[in-house]
Amino acid sequence: MGWLKNAFAMPKPGSVPLTPRQEEILEKLAAKVVEWKMAVPAVLFLESVKPLNYVGSQILVFFAPIVNTMFTIPDYNEFVALMEERGNVEVLLKRIEAKEEARLAASRKPHP
What pLDDT digit, counting tens, does each position of 39-93 carry?
Answer: 999 998 888 877 776 777 777 777 777 777 778 888 888 888 888 787 888 899 9
Contact of 54 with 108, CB cutoff 8 Å: no
Residue 43 lies in a domain: yes
Evaluate whether residue 86 is within a structural domain: yes
pLDDT (0 to 100) of residue 7:
47
Q: Is residue 42 domain-resident?
A: yes
Average pLDDT, the chain: 80
Spatial separation of the C-alpha atoms in residues 44 and 55, rounded to whole Å: 16
Whether 37 is covered by a domain: the verdict is yes
Does 15 fall in a domain?
A: no
What pLDDT does residue 15 have? 59
Alpha helices per DSSP H over 1-72: 20-35, 39-49, 53-62, 64-67
Q: Structural domain of residue 94, as residue ranges?
A: 25-106
Specify burial of residue 38 (Cβ count, 10 A radius: 0-12, 13-18, 19+). Answer: middle
Q: pTM (2 decimals)?
A: 0.69
What percent of the chain is modeled with pLDDT above 90? Answer: 31
